Amino acid sequence: MMKVNDFQKYEVSLKIPYEDYFSLIYETKYLLEARLGANRCFIAKVAMYGNCRRRAVEKAVEWFSKDFKGVLGQAHKVMTINDPFEEVTYDDEFACNDLGNKYLDDITIDRVLAESGGDLDREDPDSDNNQHNSLRRVRRRRKENVQLTSRLSQTPSGTIYYRMTEPAGKKGSRMKSKLVKLSSKSLEKALREVSRRGLDKFEKFEDEKCTSKIRATAPKKAA
């Protein structure tokens, strides 16, 4: 029975070699959705529902392990799941081994590879080091972030961060800084997002403290 929050539909595809498909029949495991495609492979498409792609992948893996693992082998070699809502996107924190980023179809892989700007590559499903991933990181020299303003910086992949100032303690006598990830991809939109989210609410307070210190340490002119 489908849960109330499992409202998003995803498509699971199984690419089954010709001989393996008839092994399924021998094991009385029928896939009515399967159709013979190119290279003598049967293609089966099954609908899977979840509140996000990660949940849909989790359910698909459980389904595959229960019904087909003994006959079709490892899931990552025959199963892919689409990404109709483009939940899989590249940024500096992209994790190839995250379940939500696994079992990608070709359309999604091509899109994410383009977003990565060369930081990612396809994973070889037959590689000994493959952890059932669809993508792998390419070792390359790390690029430097671009400083957009005194507080805004942008990573090579396009992610913008804001250096936010906030009180370190309850009394607010000391300030600390932390980087906040923004969803905006341009400077203009990032400035509006900072203002909308109130990330700059302590900036004026910090600037006033710095100004007071400068005045206090400045040498007094002789009368």
Please write the tens of the pLDDT for every residue from 165-207: 887 766 656 778 889 999 999 999 999 999 999 998 877 655 5
Identify whether residues 131 and 151 lie together within a single domain.
no
Identify whether residues 123 and 174 lie together within a single domain.
no
Identify whether residues 129 and 164 lie together within a single domain.
no
Give the pLDDT of residue 214: 45
pLDDT above 80 for 102? yes
Token pair of 16 as six digits: 């089954």
54 in a domain, yes or no? yes
Identify whether residues 25 and 132 lie together within a single domain.
yes
Compute the mean pLDDT over every residue in the chain, rounded to the nearest whole number: 82
Which residues, including other chains, have CB under 8 Å from residue 157's CB and lie 6 or more apart? Answer: 90, 91, 92, 115, 116, 117, 119
DSSP 156: T
Alpha helices in 138-202 (DSSP H): 187-197
How many Å apart are CA 132 and CA 13, to the nearest integer? 16
Q: Which of 116, 137, 158 is the last residue of a domain?
A: 137
Q: What is the pTM of this model?
A: 0.58
More confident call, 219 vs 146: 146
Give the pLDDT of residue 4: 52
Low-confidence winner among 23-37, 117-131, 185-199 (lowest mean pLDDT)? 23-37
Q: How far, in Å, are 29, 133, 160 from residue 26 at the CA level?
A: 8, 30, 55
Q: Which of 117, 137, 157 is the last residue of a domain?
A: 137
Give the pLDDT of residue 121: 94
> What tens digit of pLDDT does each residue of 50-86 get?
999 999 999 999 998 888 766 777 888 889 999 999 9
> What tens digit of pLDDT does each residue of 3-18 get?
556 689 999 998 887 7
Range of the domain at 91: 8-137
72 in a domain, yes or no? yes
Q: Angle 40-46-49 (CA atoms, 0-180°, nearest 5)?
A: 155
2 in a domain, yes or no? no
Can you say whether residue 161 is alpha, beta or left, with left for phi > 0 and alpha for psi between -120 and 50 degrees?
beta
CA neighbor of 132 nearest in space, from 80, 88, 86: 80
Identify whether residues 44 and 111 lie together within a single domain.
yes
pLDDT above 50 for 1? no
3 in a domain, yes or no? no
Identify whether residues 35 and 70 lie together within a single domain.
yes
Identify the band that residue 128 occupies on the pLDDT scale cut at 50, 70 and 90: low
Identify whether residues 155 and 123 lie together within a single domain.
no
Identify whether residues 19 and 91 lie together within a single domain.
yes
Identify whether residues 115 and 155 lie together within a single domain.
no
How many Å apart are CA 92 and CA 116, to the nearest integer? 9
Low-confidence winner among 98-107, 128-137, 186-195, 214-223 (lowest mean pLDDT)? 214-223
Identify the band that residue 40 occupies on the pLDDT scale cut at 50, 70 and 90: confident
CA neighbor of 33 nearest in space, from 23, 43, 20: 43
Give the pLDDT of residue 52: 95
83 in a domain, yes or no? yes
Q: Which of 137, 170, 200 is the last residue of a domain?
A: 137
The tally of domains found in the chain comes to 2
1 in a domain, yes or no? no
Question: Where in the chain does DSSP place strands (E)?
Answer: 8-17, 35-36, 41-50, 79-81, 120-122, 135-137, 146-147, 152-154, 160-167, 175-181
pLDDT above 70 for 23? no
Identify whether residues 72 and 17 lie together within a single domain.
yes
- Sign of the C-alpha dihedral, residues 104, 107, 113, 116? negative
Identify whether residues 161 and 104 lie together within a single domain.
no
Mean pLDDT of 145-165: 91
Identify whether residues 156 and 193 lie together within a single domain.
yes
68 in a domain, yes or no? yes
122 in a domain, yes or no? yes
